[in-house]
Amino acid sequence: MFRVTYIILVAAVILPIAQSAFGQIFKWVDSEGYTQFSDRPRQDAQAIAIDLKDTGPSGSTEQSASVEGALLGPYAAFEVVSPEKNQTLRPAERNVPVSLIIDPPLLPGHQLHLVMDSVPIAVDQAAATQMSLTEVPWGSHQVVAEIHDSKGDTIARTPPVTFHLRKPLPPGVLP
């Protein structure tokens, strides 16, 4: 009995997905004169074939990554790994270490730029993957790394990372 129920449940989930993958939509006019659309057939509905074109990356060097706000460009990997997303830091001083992954390493003619809260931050190009933000105000901040080409155009961007800088707690006090 369990096996039959399981098969029916799987079919009920997969069948609508499979139908929508073929791109068939049904159109009809209801009793009040409004045009209606559905992925489920009706007696008075007209089937409309939908062409599901491949909307994936076009193969250009400016492909969007799967993470919102990211742009990989000619890089296989480009992301902020420290601070971590939504990490709360309680440093003794208001310094925040930032670590990046760039693969392959920064290409000739490319420059790394760091942006915190929409304000550009100067970056030492020699230490491109490890840097420190100094005198960061207490509170929540967002950091994004960008790679610009020789013309100054952004060709790669990390997803934004939000972090929270809080005052250190006195000894013996838990957060």
Residue-wise pLDDT for 125-145, tens only, equals 666 788 888 888 989 999 999
Q: Is 164 helix (H, G, I), strand (E, B) or coil?
A: strand
Residue-wise pLDDT for 90-105, tens only, equals 887 888 999 998 988 8
Q: Is residue 143 part of a domain?
A: yes
Amino acid symbol at 4: V
Say whether both 87 and 145 belong to one domain: yes
Say whether both 109 and 161 belong to one domain: yes
Total domains in the fold of the chain = 2
Say whether both 82 and 40 belong to one domain: no
What is the Cα–Cα distance from 79 to 85, expressed in whole angstroms? 11
Say whether both 22 and 99 belong to one domain: no
Return the pLDDT at 12. Answer: 55
pTM of the model: 0.57
User: What range defines the domain where residue 42 resides?
Assistant: 2-49
Q: Is residue 19 part of a domain?
A: yes
Say whether both 87 and 152 belong to one domain: yes
Token pair for 9: 């449940």
Say whether both 127 and 83 belong to one domain: yes
Position of tokens 């915190």? 116
